[in-house]
Amino acid sequence: MKKASLVSFLLLTACVTINIYFPAAATEKVADEIIKGIQESQDIPPQSQHQNAALPEWKVSLFRAIDSGISLIISSAHAEANLSVNSTTIRKIRSSMKSRFPALRTYYIQGVIGINVNGLLSPHGNVPLKARNTVKKLISAENNDRESLYAAIANANGHPEWHAQIKATFSRSWVKHAQSGWWYQDGGRWVQK
Amino acid sequence: MPARTSTVKTHLFGQQAFHFTLKVKNQRANFHLSHLKLFGGTINLTLQEKKGHWTAKLQAEKINLQKIHTFLRLKSLESLSGKATLSAQLSGSKLSHLDKAILSAIVTELSAQDISGNLASEALTLHSELKLERQGKNWQWQTQQRLSKGAFYIDPIYLDIEKAQPISLKASGSLDSNNKAITLTSVSLKHKGIAHIDAKALIHYKKTEPILKQADINFYADNLETISSLYLAPFLEGKPIQDLSLQGNLSATLTIENQALHEAHLNFNSLQLSSKQQAISIEQLAGSVYWNHLWENKQDSHLYWQALSIKNIPFTASQLDFSLAEQQLNLLQPAKLALLDGILSIEKFDFNLNAAVESSVTLRARLDKLSLNELSAAMHWENPLSGTLSGYIPSVNYHQKKLTLEGGLKMQLFDGEIRISQLAASGLLTDFSQFYIDLEFENLDLNEVTKKFPIGRIQGRLSGFAHNVYLENWQPISFYAWLGTPDDDDSRHKISHRAVRNIASLGGSSAADVISRGVLSWFDDFGYDRLGIGCYLHQGVCQMTGAAAASQGYYLIKGGGIPSIDIIGFNTRVNWHTLMNRLSRITANNMVVEP
C-alpha cells in the first residue's frame, strides 16, 4: 500500500515542462509570404488552403504516418511551434495593406518614404508640399496596420509576448523585399537599395 | 545739424555705414537715419517729437528673411527665406504711449517650414496691412491680408495660389484689454471664385488658451467642385469615400458658442455628388438641412433628388423629410422610394450617432416586387434573372460595427421561391467587407434554372438551403449548404447527356470520358430518381455530400427510369477554389470540362 502511494505521489508530482520556443524560421517564412502577397498584384486567397484536400487518399495516409513518426521523434522539451496566420483580423489587415500598396509604391519610388530601422515607414527627405498630406496619412495607416498585424499574429498563436520578435522578423523581411531604388535605414543611416 | 555719414562696427551686425541727421529746435526734435544696411536690405527711420507728441516712420526694403532666421535662431522654424518690404507709421501723445499704428508688409518668395512640417509655404507672395488706434482704454483695429502667389500647406490642406485664385482676408474689430476680449465685428475671407466666409465673433483670452465665446459664420460655396478637391479631399484621404466629389453651390450658417457648434443650417440646389470607389452618385440634389445641439430646438429638414444610384442600383426622384438634432436623425414621415420597377417603403428610420456608447439604427422597411431582371442589369450579372424580390424588414440592429437585418426577403424566381434571412454585414464601404446570409431554396424548376446557367438541361425540382453563409470581400469563407431533389417531388426527372458530363466533371473524375465513349453516349437524356449536392465549407475545403450515401462516397445523381445513370462522388474533401474553377469553366465555356 505504501509502495502504491509512493508511486502515485511520484506520478502526480512528475511534471513535464513543454517550452514552446519562438518559431523564428516559420515566422520568417510567414513574413516573406505576407509581404510578397501584399506587394504582388494577385488577390490574397481568402484563407490558407489545405493542400492535401486534392491529394489521393494513399498519399494523405502516407504523409500522416510520416507526420506522426516525426512527432514521436521530436522531443517535447524543445518543440518549436508553427505559426498560424489564418484569422479574420489578419486577413482584414492584409487586405487593407494590399490595397494601400500601389499608392505606397509611388512614394517608395520617388524616395519620399523609406523603411526605418523598426521596419515601419518614415518620411524620407523633403516631401513635396503637394504630396505631404497623402504621404503622412499613408505612413500613419500603414504603420498602424503593421503593428496590428504583428499583434494579431502573436494573438492568433496564443503568444502575445511574441509581438516584438514578430516585429523584428518582419522588419528584416520588409527590407529584404524592398525593390531596387527604395530607401531603408541600416543602423539608423538611410541607404538606397 | 547737417547730414552725416557714420560708420559703426558691432559684434552683431558687423561694420555699418549710414546717414543720419538730428535737429532739436523750438521744442521740436527731428531724427532721420537712412541707408542702414541690415539683413541684406536697407532701413530708413524718421522720428519727430513736438511737445510730447511723437511720430515714427520706419521703412525697411528687401529684407532677407533667411538672414533674420539665422540671426534670431527661431527654434519653431526649420527654414525661412524670402524678401520683405516693411513700413510702419507710429504716433503717440506721450513718449511712453502708442496711440496709432499703421503697419504694412509685402513679402515675396516666402518659403518657410515649421519644425513639425505641418505648416509650410513655397514662394508665397503676401500683402499684409494692420491699422491700430487707441480709443480710450480699447484698441480699434483693421487688417487686410492677401495671398496672391505661391503655395502653402496647413495640415492637411495644400493650396497652390496661382492655380486656385488669390485668397484675401479683411477683418476689423476691437481689443478690450481690461476684459481681455477681442471682438471681431467683421471678418470676410474670400477665395476668389470659389468660396467666401463672413463672420462675427467674440474671443476671450483671460486664460492661456484663447476661447471662442461666440461666433456667427456665413459660408457661401460658389464652386463646390473646387472646394471638394481643395478643402474636403485632404480630410477624406485614406477614408472609404476619399474620391467623393461635389458639384454645385451651397450656403451654410453656423452658430458657435463656447467653442462648440450650436446650430447649423445648410441650403443647396442642383448639387451633384459622386464616389466612383463606392459606386454612389446623386444628381440634382436640393435641400434644406437644419441641425441644433438641442433636440427640443429641432426643425424640419428636407432632401430632394432627381436621381440616386447606390452600388449601381438606381433610385428615381424622391424626397426625404427628417429631423436632425444632437446626434440623432429621425425620418418625419414614411418614404416611398421607387427602384428596380418596385418600391422600397421606409416606414421608420432613426439613427443615433452616440460615440460614447454605440451608434444605433432603427429601421422598418418593406420591399415590394423589385425586378430581378433590373437588378441583374444593374449588377452586370452575366446570367440575368427573371422574377421579383419582396420582403419585410421589421428592424435592424447595429452592434460592433455589424449591421444585422431582422425579418427576411423572398425572391420569386424559377417558378419557386428563395427565402433570405439572417442578413448581416460589416465594413461594406471598406476594402474588407463581411457579409452573412441564410438562404432557403424551395421547389425551383430545374428546367428554368438550367436555362439560365448553362450546365446542361435538367428537368425536375430543386430545394435546399445554404446556412451560416459567411463572405469576406464577397468570397465565401464558410457555409453549410445542400441542394437536391425535394422528398415529395413528383415532377418529371430527366437529365441531359451534357448535364451528366458536367456534373461528373465537377468531381474532377474521369467519369466524363466514360460517359462519352461507352454505350451511354448513345442517349441524349437519362432518367434519375434523385440528385443532390452538399458542401460544408470550412478552412477552404468543401466536405462534400450528395443526394444519398453510397458505399464509398455519395450519390450526386441516383438513377431511376430507363435509361438511368448513377453518378457517385468519391472525393469527400474538395478544395473550394478547385471546385469553383471547375464550375466557372463549365458556365463560362458552356462546354464539358476535361478532367
Rounded-to-integer distance, Cα B230 and Cα B240, Å: 18
Task: Look at A130 and B539 and tell me if their CB atoms are within 8 Å.
Answer: no
pLDDT at A62 over 70: no
| Neighboring chain B residues of A134 at a CB cutoff of 8 Å | 237
Residue-level pLDDT at A83: 77
In the block, cell 531603408 appears at: A184
| Neighboring chain A residues of B578 at a CB cutoff of 8 Å | 53-54
pLDDT-based confidence at residue A36 (cuts at 50, 70, 90): very high
Nearest residue to B333 via CA among B315, B325, B341, B345: B345
Residue-level pLDDT at B456: 87
Of B517 and B377, which is predicted with more confidence? B377
The complex's ipTM? 0.76
Residue-level pLDDT at B562: 75
Q: Residue B372 phi/psi, 5° resolution?
A: -70, -25
Residue-level pLDDT at B512: 52
pLDDT at B325 over 80: yes
> Average of pLDDT values for B103-112?
96
DSSP-derived secondary structure letter, B516: H
Task: Look at A133 and B234 and tell me if their CB atoms are within 8 Å.
Answer: yes
Residue-level pLDDT at B590: 44
- How large a percentage of chain B has pLDDT more than 70? 93
> Average of pLDDT values for B368-379?
91
Mutation pick from A84, A92, A100, A122 vs chain B, by most beta carbons of B within 10 Å, is A92
- Going across the sheet that includes A189-192, the strands are A121-123, A113-115, A183-186, A189-192
Residue-level pLDDT at B451: 86
What does the block give as the cell for B445? 424548376
pLDDT at A159 over 50: yes
DSSP-derived secondary structure letter, B249: E
Of B227 and A41, which is predicted with more confidence? B227
**Cα angle B216-B288-B235, degrees, rounded to a multiple of 5:** 65
Q: With an 8 Å Cβ cutoff, is A3 touching chain B?
A: no
- How large a percentage of chain B has pLDDT more than 90? 56
pLDDT at B3 over 70: no
All structural domains of chain A with their residue ranges: 26-45+83-192
> Average of pLDDT values for A103-107?
94
Nearest to A50 among B152, B155, B540 (CB): B540
Question: Omega of the bond prior to B595 within 30 degrees of 0, cis?
Answer: no
> Average of pLDDT values for B421-425?
93
Q: Which helix (H) or strand (E) holds B163?
A: helix B161-164
> Average of pLDDT values for B514-530?
72
Residue-level pLDDT at B342: 94
Of B566 and A18, which is predicted with more confidence? B566
Q: Decide: A122 and A138 in contact? Cβ < 8 Å.
A: no
Burial readout B270-301 (b: 16 or more C-beta within 10 A, e: otherwise): ebbbbbeebebbbbebbbebbbbeeeeebeeb
Compute the count of residue pairs across chains A and B with CB atoms less than 8 Å apart: 79
Measure in Å the smallest separation between the Cα of B150 and chain A Cα atoms. 11
Residue-level pLDDT at A13: 43
Of B274 and A60, which is predicted with more confidence? B274
Q: Decide: B324 and B300 in contact? Cβ < 8 Å.
A: no
| Neighboring chain B residues of A49 at a CB cutoff of 8 Å | 540-541, 575, 577
Residue-level pLDDT at B191: 93
Give the ranges where B224-367 is alpha helix by DSSP (H).
224-227, 233-236
Mean predicted lDDT score pLDDT of chain A = 76
Residue-level pLDDT at B355: 59
Mean predicted lDDT score pLDDT of chain B = 88
Q: Decide: A147 and A170 in contact? Cβ < 8 Å.
A: no
pLDDT-based confidence at residue B321 (cuts at 50, 70, 90): very high
Lowest average pLDDT, out of B135-139, B155-159, B480-484, goes to: B135-139
pLDDT at B90 over 80: yes
| Neighboring chain A residues of B434 at a CB cutoff of 8 Å | 88
Residue-level pLDDT at B588: 59
Residue pLDDT, tens place only, B455-476? 889 999 999 999 999 999 888 9
Task: Look at A133 and B238 and tell me if their CB atoms are within 8 Å.
Answer: no
Q: Which helix (H) or strand (E) holds B512?
A: helix B511-517
Rounded-to-integer distance, Cα A103 and Cα A121, Å: 13
HSE (side-chain half, CA atoms, 13 Å) at B386: 8
pLDDT at B13 over 60: yes
pLDDT-based confidence at residue A76 (cuts at 50, 70, 90): very low
Residue-level pLDDT at B516: 54
| Neighboring chain A residues of B157 at a CB cutoff of 8 Å | 133
Residue-level pLDDT at A60: 37
pLDDT-based confidence at residue B485 (cuts at 50, 70, 90): very high
Lowest average pLDDT, out of A154-168, B434-448, B569-583, goes to: B569-583
Nearest residue to B163 via CA among B229, B96, B251: B229
The winner for highest mean pLDDT among B22-31, B155-164, B253-262, B553-562 is B253-262
pLDDT at B123 over 80: yes
pLDDT-based confidence at residue A35 (cuts at 50, 70, 90): very high
Residue pLDDT, tens place only, B181-224? 999 999 999 998 899 999 999 999 887 788 999 999 999 998 89
Residue-level pLDDT at B263: 96
What sign for the dihedral angle of Cα B60, B65, B67, B70? positive
Measure in Å the smallest separation between the Cα of A22 and chain B Cα atoms. 25
Which residues are bridge partners to B100 per DSSP?
Answer: B91, B133
Alpha-carbon torsion, ordered B336, B342, B348, B352, to 10 deg? -100
All structural domains of chain B with their residue ranges: 414-589
Q: With an 8 Å Cβ cutoff, is A127 touching chain B?
A: yes
Rounded-to-integer distance, Cα B553 and Cα B509, Å: 13
pLDDT-based confidence at residue B171 (cuts at 50, 70, 90): very high
> Average of pLDDT values for B423-442?
90
pLDDT at B266 over 90: yes
Q: What 3-state class would DSSP assign to A18?
A: coil
Report the Cα B222 to chain-centroid distance in Å: 21
Q: With an 8 Å Cβ cutoff, is A59 touching chain B?
A: no
Of B482 and A19, which is predicted with more confidence? B482
Of B400 and B159, which is predicted with more confidence? B159
Bridge-based pairing of strands A183-186 and A113-115 is parallel
Nearest to B122 among A53, A96, A129 (CB): A129
What does the block give as the cell for A158? 496564443
In the block, cell 504516418 appears at: A65
> Average of pLDDT values for A74-96?
71
Nearest residue to B402 via CA among B366, B431, B427, B377: B427
Lowest average pLDDT, out of A43-52, A178-187, B185-194, goes to: A43-52
- Residue B454: C-alpha distances to residues B62, B172, B228, B285, B492 (Å): 81, 76, 47, 43, 20
DSSP-derived secondary structure letter, B232: I
Rounded-to-integer distance, Cα B444 and Cα B451, Å: 12
Nearest residue to B561 via CA among B460, B414, B487, B477: B460
DSSP-derived secondary structure letter, A80: B
HSE (side-chain half, CA atoms, 13 Å) at B469: 22
Q: Decide: B366 and B347 in contact? Cβ < 8 Å.
A: yes
Residue-level pLDDT at B312: 86
Q: Decide: B131 and A112 in contact? Cβ < 8 Å.
A: no
Q: Decide: B512 and B505 in contact? Cβ < 8 Å.
A: yes
pLDDT-based confidence at residue B28 (cuts at 50, 70, 90): confident
Residue-level pLDDT at B113: 93
| Neighboring chain B residues of A129 at a CB cutoff of 8 Å | 120-122, 151-153, 158
Rounded-to-integer distance, Cα B292 and Cα B201, Å: 19
- Residue A174: C-alpha distances to residues A110, A127, A189 (Å): 18, 22, 16
Residue-level pLDDT at A116: 94
Residue-level pLDDT at B551: 81
Q: What is chain B's alpha carbon radius of gyration, rounded to the nearest angstrom?
A: 39
pLDDT-based confidence at residue B507 (cuts at 50, 70, 90): low
Residue-level pLDDT at B164: 63
Task: Look at B540 and A96 and tell me if their CB atoms are within 8 Å.
Answer: no
Q: Residue A186 phi/psi, 5° resolution?
A: -120, 105
pLDDT at B58 over 50: yes
> Average of pLDDT values for A63-87?
49
Q: With an 8 Å Cβ cutoff, is A53 touching chain B?
A: yes
Rounded-to-integer distance, Cα A104 and Cα A39, Å: 10
Measure in Å the smallest separation between the Cα of B544 and chain A Cα atoms. 11
- Residue B504: C-alpha distances to residues B321, B499, B562, B593 (Å): 57, 8, 19, 9
